[in-house]
Amino acid sequence: MPQIRPLISDLASALRLHSALLLRLQTAPTLHIVALFAHLTSLLSIFPSAWLAFHRSPGNLPAVTAALTDIAHRYIVACLGWPSPRLPPLLPTSQPMRPPPPIVLTAATLSVRSATAIQLLPSFLAQRSARLAFASCALTSPPCSPPSPAAISAATGAMELSMTSLWRVKWDNRYKDTFWRFTVNGLRAAGGHDISFPCSCGWHPPALSSGPAKALAMRAHCFWECPVAQAVLLEVHRALPPHVTVSKSHLWLLQPPVGRGLHPEVWAVVAMAAIHAVTRGRGPMWSASLGSSASTPPLSPAELVRVGSRAAQACWFWCLLQDFVNLQSVPLSWASIGRHHPFLNVILTPIPPGAVDNAPKYTLRLTLPVSLTLPITLDD
């Protein structure tokens, strides 16, 4: 067997040598060249042919990156494992490399968490791609020009940071689940899973768009343009000074309007409640659009909007915040927001004389707009 290993130091050298041998094979074949070419072909065959083809072409670098991800998943992850008597030892490098040998790892080199992260890499990449599209939609406000890729990437990163701190807030996971799905277009009846249809308010998906584009348009409509969403936005504005304008990016990306003194984590809870309130408002609107019986005449779109808006704004948005307040799980970082913060406020609870535990305790309260009263509990 020809000793080709000293001839190559890395994969790029191997590919160059392989191409040179192929040329020699076509022009001046010898037994030595044939054997060398066959052996090198065998070594390179552990890589997908598409990857090799891309790697040989300098103009395909982006595709090579994607193919590298594919290799990591198909070849490396499939071989991962911890030491076990059942696993064969690593094969000597002189032996053929198909099938690839198991890569035996120890706890010091690979934790369960990092191994799981590697295995979920395709899911994370799909999630990231969906969130970039989400951020792009949140930042787009015609007739302004579309946001730059750098702006979209930065907004996505900021939103994910806010989501990380939001997940630590002690509250019902249903509301967190709604927002998580919202960012990846996974909410049913709102464009989720690329399914779109006309809204009960009378809106229709753009006729000439593709299926996914229609679904994204439906999400944008349901959570911003639809009168039900605007009714919730009205409630958000009721708690803010008149000159403050809340944009789609503020609400969707969990970023508070700059310079308004809004605590970022409080705003994230408010935005999450607003998105959930929209979904809850759409339910009654959809039910009403079906009619209660054959003898009941269907409601007009304007009447349906009134049903949905009333459910979303009068019940759900403020009731959700009241529900959060009822838990009294005040994050320590909220202690500074004071008693005049919009939406939610915090007061220092007086310590009774003689109390053993004299650590400061805070009480969370709802900053309810004047003339609005709510039920105390939330019945979902």
The contact set with Zn ion (CB under 5 A) reads 199, 201, 203, 226
State the Cα–Cα distance between residues 266 and 345, nearest whole angstrom.
Answer: 9
In the complex with Zn ion, which residue's Cβ is closer, 187 or 226? 226
Which spans in the chain are helix H? 11-27, 31-44, 49-56, 61-71, 112-119, 121-139, 149-168, 173-183, 211-220, 227-238, 248-252, 264-290, 301-310, 318-327
Tell me how far, at minimum, the Cβ of 285 lies from Zn ion, in Å. 8
For residues 199 and 236, which CB has a smaller minimum distance to Zn ion in the complex? 199
Q: How far is the CB of 233 from Zn ion (least distance, A)?
A: 13
**Close Cβ partners of 150 (under 8 Å, ≥ 6 residues apart):** none
Q: Tell me the closest approach of the beta carbon of residue 202 to Zn ion, in angstroms.
A: 7
Whose Cβ is closer to Zn ion: residue 199's or residue 364's? 199
Three-state DSSP at 364 gives strand
CA atoms within 13 A on the CB side of 81: 15
User: What is the distance between the alpha carbons of residues 352 and 355, in angstroms, rounded to a whole number?
Assistant: 6
Max CA pair span of the chain: 100
Nearer Cβ to Zn ion (147/227): 227
C-beta of 231 vs 325, nearer to Zn ion: 231
Q: Which residues pair with 364 in a beta bridge?
A: 346
Tell me the C-alpha distance between 139 and 159, whole Å.
Answer: 12
Nearer to Zn ion by Cβ, of 111 and 209: the residue is 209
CB of 49 to Zn ion, least distance (A): 49
Query: SS3 of 166, please?
Result: helix
Our CB check for Zn ion shows the closer of 226 and 253 to be 226
| CB contact burial 91-116 (16+ within 10 A = b; e otherwise) | eeeeeeeeeebbbbbeeeebeeeeee
Closest CA to 97 of 164, 21, 41: 41
Nearer to Zn ion, 75 or 286 (CB): 286
Minimum CB separation of residue 228 from Zn ion in Å reads 6
Least CB distance to Zn ion at residue 252 (A): 17
Q: How far apart are CA 255 and CA 89, in angstroms?
A: 53
Q: Contact at 8 Å (CB) between 343 and 239?
A: yes
Smallest gap from residue 251 Cβ to Zn ion (A): 16
Considering the complex, what minimum distance in angstroms separates the CB of residue 225 from Zn ion?
A: 7
